[in-house]
Amino acid sequence: MARSSPIALFCILSTQLAVAPPAVAQVAQQFVETTRGVVGFRLHRVLDVHAAFRSRHEDLVMAGVYDDGAIVKVRIVRYTIDGKRASASDEAAMVQAYEEPKPSDAFEPPFDARYANAYSYRQKTPQTLAFTSELRDAAHGDGSFAYDADHNVLWYAYQPNALPPHASSGTILDRRAEVLPNYWAVKQETQQYRGSYGPFHAAATQESDFSDFSRFPDLQSALRSI
């Protein structure tokens, strides 16, 4: 998705965030400034699902490219399901899920000014903001985020407003860091779900680690690197 120009961003912040705590606009501005550019990364994701007498274990390693903070390309390095290599169709579905997520599935962070009109905000502590959304899909949720003295988001945690099948509750926690000079990104993500499968308890945990960040002068050189 194209990043707003400074003038367009100012207009968005002036209208959508007018009734929000002042820190929201400061965090949103810092988010734009610290996610600019083309950056490569590596993702290692492990998923464990347990339901009744069934279980599923996925281990995924991918190389990918961010363009202004948005994933534009991924390449699967390794993908196994219950210890066996994933099928071509499973790999294709995984690539599509990252490169072309459904609008109702890809989380729209409340500290991005483009999505501010979907949220209500409350100052929870001097450096923590709570947020809620009435949009009932997986792209939105209720939670909070913390920021440092420079208004960089350190972490955000929320309960999605739409859950996977068989889940009755779920939480997602993302931890961010300065991974390159003046560039911030998610370093770790933990998703946990609880629910039932028929009369049996079910649970799922997904751990994602992002590493090997590198900056590129343009998108084409980044795409060639993976």
Note the pLDDT tens digit of each residue in 157-166: 999 999 988 8
Note the pLDDT tens digit of each residue in 171-184: 999 999 999 999 99
pLDDT, average across residues 15-41? 90
CB contact at 8 A, 176 and 184: yes
pLDDT, average across residues 108-136? 97
* Whole-number average pLDDT of the chain: 93
pLDDT band at 44 (very low <50, low <70, confident <90, very high): very high
pLDDT band at 205 (very low <50, low <70, confident <90, very high): very high
pLDDT band at 131 (very low <50, low <70, confident <90, very high): very high
pLDDT band at 16 (very low <50, low <70, confident <90, very high): low
Note the pLDDT tens digit of each residue in 64-101: 999 999 999 999 999 999 999 999 999 999 999 999 99
Tell whether the model's pLDDT for residue 115 goes beyond 90.
yes
Tell whether the model's pLDDT for residue 106 goes beyond 50.
yes
CA pair distance 179, 181, nearest whole angstrom: 7
pLDDT value at position 2? 47
pLDDT value at position 199? 84
Burial of 82 (0-12, 13-18, 19+ CB in 10 A): exposed
Tell whether the model's pLDDT for residue 13 goes beyond 70.
no
pLDDT, average across residues 124-143? 97
Instruction: State the helix-helix crossing angle for 6-16 and 22-33, rounded to 10 degrees.
Output: 160
Tell whether the model's pLDDT for residue 17 goes beyond 70.
no
pLDDT value at position 8? 53
128 bridge partner residues: 125, 146
CA pair distance 32, 18, nearest whole angstrom: 18
pLDDT value at position 11? 54
pLDDT, average across residues 198-220? 95
In the sheet that 128-132 helps form, which strands lie side by side, from edge to edge?
84-85, 70-81, 54-67, 38-51, 200-216, 183-197, 167-180, 153-160, 141-147, 128-132, 120-125
